[in-house]
Structure 1
Amino acid sequence: MSDRNVVLVPKWYTTAQVAELLGFGLYKTKMLIATGELRSLKDGKYRRILPEWVDEYVSRRVEENVG
């Protein structure tokens, strides 16, 4: 069995990756971060978002719209 089939799962995402995951534009995703609706952290000059923070955002939006 070859190790070349290993799939790496990112520990955190860039803003652009989160925008793509959520189906949002980059501007909207940056606004969610700026308003605190989507948690993020600054890593040097880059903004990073943990996968669980994306899940939290999605869960919160579902609760707001279902409940």
Structure 2
Amino acid sequence: MTSTTIQRKWHTTAEVAAMLGYGLSKTKMLVLTGEIRSIKDGRNRRILPRYVDEYVERRAREAEEGAA
């Protein structure tokens, strides 16, 4: 018998806040302003893992450019 691990396809705003070490309010604001892309799923917002990666990469790039 083979065990299969199901990988999460998207995250809640609260999960992304925990991943980034941000508060929930800040993360919700980033989602509402489009800083972190999201998709609407009924009444909820869901954030794809690649959207989190895009945000982190953009912030890192901005920080590096600002330091130069």
Report the TM-score when normalising by structure 2.
Answer: 0.87
Q: Please tell me whether residue 50 in structure 1 is matched to residue 48 in structure 2.
A: yes
Mean alpha-carbon deviation: is it higher for 39-48 or for 6-15?
6-15
Q: Which residue of the partner structure matches residue 38 of structure 2?
A: 40
- 2:12 corresponds in structure 1 to 14
> Percent same amino acid among aligned pairs?
58
2: CA distance, partners of 1:24 / 1:43:
22
Match of 1:24 in 2: 22
List runs of 5+ in structure 1 lacking aligned partners: none
- What is the count of residue pairs matched by the alignment? 65
Scaled by the length of structure 1, the TM-score of the pair is: 0.89
Say what the alpha-carbon RMSD is for the aligned residues.
1.2
Name segments (4+ residues, structure 1) moved above 3 Å. none
Unaligned 5+ runs, structure 2: none
